[in-house]
């Protein structure tokens, strides 16, 4: 729980922090500061198909697979 205090009016607002995203590959907590990537795959500008999030380790693995298979034409 997070409390936000307005110093001028002395109002206190209590809010719940957002739930952390989970990596779609391994299920660990996603963190963009440590190299994670998040976004969504869109069918059209206004139609989301899939929300994706990858942790830093899975991001490196996916990029490494792309680099390894770059010349194979897969």
Write down the pLDDT at residue 73: 64
Q: Is the pLDDT of residue 10 over 80?
A: yes
* DSSP H helices in 1-74: 56-68
- Whole-model pTM over 0.85: no
- pLDDT, tens only, 21-62: 888 889 888 777 777 888 888 888 888 788 888 888 888 898
As to burial, measured by CB atoms within 10 angstroms (0-12 exposed, 13-18 middle, 19+ buried), residue 10 is exposed
Write down the pLDDT at residue 11: 93
* Cα diameter, the chain: 64
Average pLDDT on 10-21 reads 85
Q: Is the pLDDT of residue 74 over 60?
A: no
């Amino acid at each position: 729980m997070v409390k936000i205090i307005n110093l001028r009016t002395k109002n206190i607002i209590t809010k719940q922090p957002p739930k952390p995203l989970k990596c779609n590959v391994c299920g660990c907590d996603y963190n963009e500061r440590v190299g994670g990537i998040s976004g969504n795959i869109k069918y059209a500008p206004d139609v989301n198909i899939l929300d994706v999030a990858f942790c830093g380790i899975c991001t490196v693995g996916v990029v490494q697979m792309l680099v390894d298979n770059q010349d194979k034409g897969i």
